């Protein structure tokens, strides 16, 4: 089963998957509203807008596993993201990215090593996984900002 075949609900609760993004570049990010890294929403939205017409999308997965920094309901998360950061990229249901209830999507993603050789549990909010159109995946630490030249270069390469 590929990442595109895994069932997941939208933030509004409708059944979905990443199938709509098959053949595109997708930046998968576990997000949170009350984190020191939350301002990354602004940069993620900028990436989403900048590259959307080239077959790119950011997709966000709210997660409350890191110091309870995503405590809100789906409605609260949607309102916060749209009014505070103007988020238009797709947001999915709140999930676990670590532990025995880890969502199947993240069961596959955490097997990927980042540039420093780290593989395993998601370390914090805003860890990023760039899925290229061919299905290859690159992993980026939470502290790698959306504006980081390394991430931007990886997105550019995935889109070429």
pTM of the model: 0.96
Q: Could you tell me the pLDDT band of residue 38, with boundaries at 50, 70 and 90?
A: very high
DSSP string, the chain: --GGG--EEBTTS-EE-SGGGTTSEEEEEEE-SSSTTTTHHHHHHHHHHHHGGGTEEEEEEE--TTTT-----HHHHHHHHHHHH---S-BB---BSSSTTB-HHHHHHTTS-BTT---SS--STT-EEEE-TTS-EEEE-TTS-TT-HHHHHHHHHHH-
How far, rounded to the nearest angstrom, does the alpha carbon of residue 137 sit from its chain's CA centroid?
12
CB 38 within 8 A of CB 44: no
Q: Could you tell me the pLDDT band of residue 105, with boundaries at 50, 70 and 90?
A: very high
Range of the domain at 92: 3-159
Which CATH number do you get for residue 87? 3.40.30.10
Q: 1 pLDDT exceeds 80?
A: no
Which of 3, 32, 35, 81 is labelled catalytic?
35
Mean pLDDT to the nearest integer, 130-156: 96
Whether 81 sits among the annotated catalytic residues: the reply is no
Structure tokens at 88: 């238009």
Number of structural domains (the chain) is 1
pLDDT reported for residue 36: 94
């Amino acid at each position: 089963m590929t990442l595109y075949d895994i069932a997941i609900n939208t933030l509004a609760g409708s059944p979905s998957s990443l199938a709509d993004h098959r053949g595109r570049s997708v930046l998968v990010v576990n997000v949170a509203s009350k984190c020191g890294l939350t301002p990354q929403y602004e940069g993620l939205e900028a990436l989403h807008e900048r590259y959307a017409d080239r077959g790119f999308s950011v997709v966000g997965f709210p997660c409350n596993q890191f110091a309870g920094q995503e405590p809100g309901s789906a409605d609260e998360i949607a309102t916060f993201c749209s009014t505070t950061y103007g988020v238009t990229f797709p947001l999915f249901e709140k999930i676990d990215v670590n532990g025995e209830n880890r969502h199947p999507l993240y069961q596959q993603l955490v097997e990927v090593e980042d540039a420093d050789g780290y593989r395993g549990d998601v370390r914090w909010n805003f860890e990023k996984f760039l899925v290229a159109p061919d299905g290859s995946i690159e992993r980026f630490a939470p502290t790698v900002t959306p504006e980081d030249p390394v991430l931007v270069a990886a997105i550019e390469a995935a889109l070429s």
